[in-house]
Chains A and B, each alone.
Chain A
Amino acid sequence: MANEQQPGKQLSAKGAARRRFTRAGAAASGVLMTLHSQPGMAAIVCATPSGHASALISARNPDALSCSGLSPGVWSQSLKPRGKNGNTPGHLSWPISKDKKFGSLFTTGKAIGQATFEQVLGNNDPVFDPDNLGAHLVAAYLNVLSGRSSFQNEYMLVNIWNNLRDYGVYHPAANVDWKGKDVVAYLKSTML
């Protein structure tokens, strides 16, 4: 093999480093988690679910940067008109229509599937949205689309939903079981 050390030939330190990085290092390594310390605020963990549940899981893409997700309440409030006459648009523009159906992304036969994103955010009925999971997934999705949570993506959120819907549990890592409230706790930790 071309990369094998020749008998009797000492491998230089630089050569060893190069082989390690190019053959295995960069592809398999990464920044697993970033703990931001912000003055006056609680530390915020920015990580994928696997990185959050187990630091042993390697995040292939160390692009775990943007960790300024907004909560369901903030996204909901942002739609409310402002000003004395109520004719000033909300303080935050949504990256997608507020009327997008929850079920168009997070498929389900339950009532929440027919509700719009705006309605899901505004409905705290525990029967309609147990653990407020739907509201937090909507907020997380909006955070992804608006670039506030670059360490998550749409497919990750849909996968969480599908697993909880079909099996009642999501496995962020081997031997780690998350129920709906655990997922909500994780999603909350990625929001300001």
Chain B
Amino acid sequence: MAQQWCIVPGQLLRSRSWDGQSVLYNEVSGATHLLDEPMLELLHALRDGSLEAEDWDDPELQQTFAALAKLYLVHPC
């Protein structure tokens, strides 16, 4: 079964967006990330439970989540 990921507790996903890009404040690390729009939408979908089995099986998404985990934005759940 594919690894599923959750937003790290405490992350509020506070962000501001313009022109297809967003800045996201990382509540855990204190860093500010510059993201493109699909990435922020992906985090929102994860928070809202909108991802489905097909998403978890996607190796590219798994790679993306693994990278986001290193930023303390998501963690395995």
Q: Measuring CB to CB, which residues of chain A are less than 8 angstroms from any residue of chain B? A: 13-14, 17-18, 20-22, 24-38, 51, 55-56, 58, 61-63, 65
Contact = CB atoms under 8 A, between A and B. Distances in A.
Interface of B: 21, 29-39, 41-42, 45, 50-52, 54-55, 58, 60-61, 63-64, 67-68, 70-71
Contacts of B35: 29-32
B70 A32 contact: no
A55 B22 CA distance: 11
* Nearest 7 interchain pairs by C-beta: A25-B38, A29-B38, A33-B34, A29-B39, A26-B60, A32-B34, A62-B67
Contact of B36 (A29, A34, A35): A29
B71 A65 contact: yes
Given A18-B54, A22-B55, A31 B38 contact: no
Nearest to A44: B31
A17 B33 contact: no
Question: Most chain-B CB neighbours within 10 Å: which of A28, A30, A51, A56?
Answer: A30
A37 B32 contact: yes
A21 B38 contact: yes
A38 B32 CA distance: 11
B54 A22 contact: yes
Given A31-B39, A37-B32, 6 more contacts: A21-B55, A22-B54, A27-B60, A31-B71, A56-B21, A63-B70
